[in-house]
Structure 1
């Protein structure tokens, strides 16, 4: 199946609950899943989160860049610790900066230099970088997810919410 990244709108109440969650990670993941079923603002970028982070920032997502809104767009601002899966959040005060950075980013230019070899060398997830014949499809998928991510952050900003990122 693989690790899939999901992004979802969070209300202030949900954000506070996430920040103050004291139970075990299984209970947290169940709660997060329940929130996902209730939200209308949701984005699934499947397994392309690591390569999207790489295209946006030049580094893989295991090395998030503090105070970099492009990095934060993919992996959030604050990751929760001591849980079995990756869960992070971005508070609503930071959403406009994230959206502005995404809108200013020249994805066409970045993808014109896209290299399957660079992705392989960086050991990006998922391990699909030996399939050169699929490069055009992968580039199209990255571009589509990038546009979807901009749309998602626009909706979250309009709704005045925060964002939760889960990768599991």
Structure 2
């Protein structure tokens, strides 16, 4: 199945609850419940690591502190001491993230990217030997990028926070 990334609207009340969680079991129940009720939701499937790499030049396993392009993919604050990846971004950072995404030229970045580069960087998922699918992989990534920009635009308009889950 693999690791999938989801991004969703997080209200202030939910953010406060997330910041005060008691244990891992409780946090996953809360997140699953919020996911079912999410007003604004983005699923980029397994493209999170490649998208992070295209935006920043490094894998998502090495997030860049205070870099809005890195934060767009992995959030700002991660929840520690849990097995899976859950992070959030407070609403005061959303505008900067959206601006950075809007200023980024993904089409140009994709033109210079090859599957061999993904293989060398050991990016997730391991799709780097499917050279015949390179154009399809790039189209899918461009679609994820465009949907991510739309997502952050909606979050900004809704004055919301963002919940990031990768599991």
Q: Indicate whether the TM-score tops 0.5.
A: yes
**TM-score, normalisation: structure 1:** 0.98
Tell me how far 1:27 sits from its aligned partner: 1.9
- Secondary structure of the residue aligned to 2:116 is helix
Counterpart in 2 of 1:17?
17
Counterpart in 1 of 2:2?
2
* Aligned-CA RMSD value: 0.6
- Secondary structure of the residue aligned to 1:43 is strand
Structure 1 position 31 matched with structure 2 position 38? no
Counterpart in 2 of 1:157?
156
Q: List aligned pairs for 1:8-157, cutoff 5 A.
A: 8-22=8-22, 24-157=23-156
Cα distance between partner residues in 2 of 1:138 and 1:48: 9
Tell me how far 1:26 sits from its aligned partner: 2.1
- List alignment gaps of at least 5 residues for structure 1: none
Tell me how far 1:114 sits from its aligned partner: 1.2
The alignment covers a number of residue pairs equal to 167
Cα distance between partner residues in 2 of 1:133 and 1:25: 41
Cα distance between partner residues in 2 of 1:68 and 1:157: 18
Tell me how far 1:39 sits from its aligned partner: 1.3
**TM-score, normalisation: structure 2:** 0.99
